[in-house]
Amino acid sequence: MYGLVLFITSAESEEPEIQMIDLYHSLEAAVSRANDLLEKFINENDVNDSERATVQKPFAAASNGDVVWRAYIHRVMLQTSYVDEEQGEPIRPITFAITDQEDLQKVRAFQREHLRTCRKRFPDCTGALFTYYAIPTGLGTLYGIECPCGARLSLDGAMA
């Protein structure tokens, strides 16, 4: 699995804002999607500098002087014990995306708070500052974000 995270940083705010998080079954699919999103950004903005993602360089970027657009692709390790009984193959999730605007605002507020106040602001080996999680249950999927200090925000509004 490969995760694609899209950030936008504007001239007014030095803090990047997450615009999208998606999961893909192959690196090639994640690179293709990153480049499609890059083309969309280029077509909608007066871009003066851009860089496409490749399998060897899983990063894309563009800038028009006021806005910086970046996409990062990382390997995601998922474990599953669910098996399709008819085909005998593991059942794997296809996409994880935070698309609800209210949830995105909660995530951005959590990020801003912890970027400003948390003393453990060191990225992991992939460069990520936060961990995003999706936990499937019989009642639905639990989504959230975790800071390196251990604070969590569940997207159902509960703080742990």
- Model confidence pLDDT, tens digit, residues 6-22: 888 887 776 778 888 88
Structural domains in the chain (count): 2
pLDDT at 39 over 70: yes
Same domain, 30 and 78: yes
> Residues 80-92: pLDDT tens digits?
455 666 766 666 6
Same domain, 10 and 60: yes
Same domain, 22 and 89: yes
Same domain, 92 and 156: no
Identify the domain containing residue 7 by its residue range.
1-97
Same domain, 11 and 77: yes
Statement: the pTM of the whole predicted model exceeds 0.85 = no
C-alpha 25/C-alpha 98 separation (Å) is 18
Same domain, 63 and 32: yes
Among 97, 125, 143, where does a domain finish? 97
Same domain, 89 and 114: no
C-alpha 152/C-alpha 51 separation (Å) is 34
